[in-house]
Amino acid sequence: MKVTAVLLAAGQGTRMKSNLPKMLHAVAGKPMIWHSLQAISQSTTEKPIVVVGYGADEVTKYLGDSAQTVLQEPQLGTGHAVMQAESALKGKTDLVVVCYGDMPLLRGETLQKLVETQKNNTGPISLLTVVADDPRGFGRIIRKPDGTVEAIVEEYVATPEQLKVRELNVGGYCFDANWLWDALHRIPKNPRKGEYYLTDTVELATKDGVPVQATLMDDVEETIGINTRVHLTEVETAMRRRINEGHMLNGVTMIDPASTYIEASVKIGKDTVVMPNTYLHGKTEIGEGNVIGPNSIIRDTKIGNFCKVLASVTEGAVLDDYVDMGPFARLRKGAHLGNHVHMGNFGEVKDSHLFEGVKMGHFSYIGNAQIGANTNIGAGTITCNYDGEKKHPTEIGEDVFIGSDTMLVAPLKIGAGARTGAGAVVTKNVAEDTLVVGVPARAIRKLERKAKK
Ligand code: UD1
Ligand code: MG
């Protein structure tokens, strides 16, 4: 059975007071519409249709291949919005799921239940409802004595008796497609607002004498819609709690989830501890048994197992296993720290590979460099990789000892087992097992390398 979603996203979102279309405001690091599309993909079989209007170009550009868009212009209500999908969908789907793009907490499982309800319904509509103390302006659900739904009454037209109803229309529907396309054309124009309300399809079904079923949700939180920035933060907090609980249930320890900010796309292995005030962004993947934070910002970074990242910032980096980093270290794009690398305070690494066991304890900048295994980078070492026009590479072999405050003027190669004296300015390649000192540094004698332990 073909199930296709129509996601309504054409409204302006005036109350956001923003230049950005409402649908693109981020929740847990992803535009709110992304969350809706995730839920939709769990409950439908076909590519979704997104109805766009306000900010259509920006929203369409963001969606790319993930959805087909149809334009609603002008915006004449939720019923009119669904009508815009008719030509794209007529005859191509059995069921149509309709939901609103500003409810990112709605779960895929909930939409699945809704679809199941409709599959067992002899009538043409099933819809999501919730019972809540605070009606928040939602439409009221009027039930028939047999338990099926008779009508949805919008707040501003409800009688005092109807206003007391606490079962609310959430804004998630599943329709029999054949019935829907015809019914949309039968929706009367609302006399007050001149709009066509999708919710009026319920009364049409009642008139047709066919049943409308409801799926009663138990988690009110899922139904929070975003109309203002206050709602946006409310949803952000709820989404953060949900994401963090997911990780905790998968074996991640969090000392203080309320101050742990993890985007929806991040993966974390078991027995990793995420300490407070830590931000995990983007395509970050973290393995098992690590301690991340406190006070760390990790973006698009792959971290292996058993690493420590204390009060540090990383972006576009890779850490293998047993890396010990921070406090106050920074990895930029293309930084790769091998197994057992130690990177202490106030260091920066960019576009460089530090092989197994490299130590850079203090105050160094390493850029466009390869550093061989077990090499020691003394305090204050700088790869002078930029001549004002171009970046140049530095290659350092294994078991090298770079003395404190060495300036490595690239392009430069330093052979395995070499040493530089403190404060050396190295402008020429250094042969293996050679000690260089001075400014600029000259070779002074041949060394004997200790056998590896
Ligand atoms: C709607 C429901 C109400 C329900 C509430 C839940 C109707 C008539 N009422 O009211 O019963 O309790 O949601 O939040 O449906 N949109 C379009 N094109 C339009 C109009 C709206 O795409 O022409 C989109 C909006 O971008 C939004 C969604 O549809 O994502 C809902 O529209 P909105 O105006 O917020 O409806 P409500 O008044 O909240
Ligand atoms: Mg609304």
Domain boundaries defined on the chain: 3-223, 253-446
- What residue's CA is closest to ligand 1, atom 39? 138
* Ligand 1 centroid to residue 78 C-alpha, Å: 6
* Ligand 1 centroid to residue 401 C-alpha, Å: 67
**Would you say how long the chain is, in residues?**
453
Where does ligand 1 bind, in terms of residues with CB under 6 Å? 8-11, 51, 53, 72, 75-78, 80-81, 100-102, 138-139, 152, 154, 168-169, 171, 197-199, 225
Express each pLDDT in 301-340 by its tens digit.
Answer: 999 999 999 999 999 999 999 999 999 999 999 999 999 9
Assign domain 3-223 to its CATH superfamily.
Spore Coat Polysaccharide Biosynthesis Protein SpsA; Chain A (3.90.550.10)
Asked if pLDDT for residue 453 goes beyond 70, the answer is no
Work out the percent of the chain whose per-residue pLDDT is above 70.
100
Q: How far is CA 388 from CA 147, 213, 262, 394, 395, in A?
A: 76, 70, 38, 16, 20
Asked if pLDDT for residue 193 goes beyond 90, the answer is no
203-209 long-range contacts, CB within 8 A, separation 24+: 203/150, 203/151, 205/123, 205/124, 205/125, 205/179, 206/144, 206/150, 206/151, 208/124
Express each pLDDT in 15-49 by its tens digit.
Answer: 999 999 999 999 999 999 999 999 999 999 999 99
State the average pLDDT over residues 108-129.
98
If one residue of 100, 154, 202, 212 were mutated to test the ligand 1 pocket, choosing by the most ligand atoms within 8 A of its CB, it would be 100
Work out the percent of the chain whose per-residue pLDDT is above 90.
94
pLDDT of residue 192: 87
253-446 and 3-223 share a CATH fold: no
Atom of ligand 1 nearest to the CA of 138: 12
Sorted by sequence, the CB contacts under 8 Å of residue 217 that are 6+ apart come out as 110, 128, 129, 130, 170, 223
What CATH number labels 253-446? 2.160.10.10
Asked if pLDDT for residue 247 goes beyond 90, the answer is yes
Express each pLDDT in 152-184 by its tens digit.
Answer: 999 999 999 999 999 999 999 999 999 999 999
Residues forming the active site: 362
State the average pLDDT over residues 369-380.
98
338 residue type, one letter: G
449 — pLDDT class (breaks 50, 70, 90): confident
* Ligand 1 centroid to residue 381 C-alpha, Å: 60
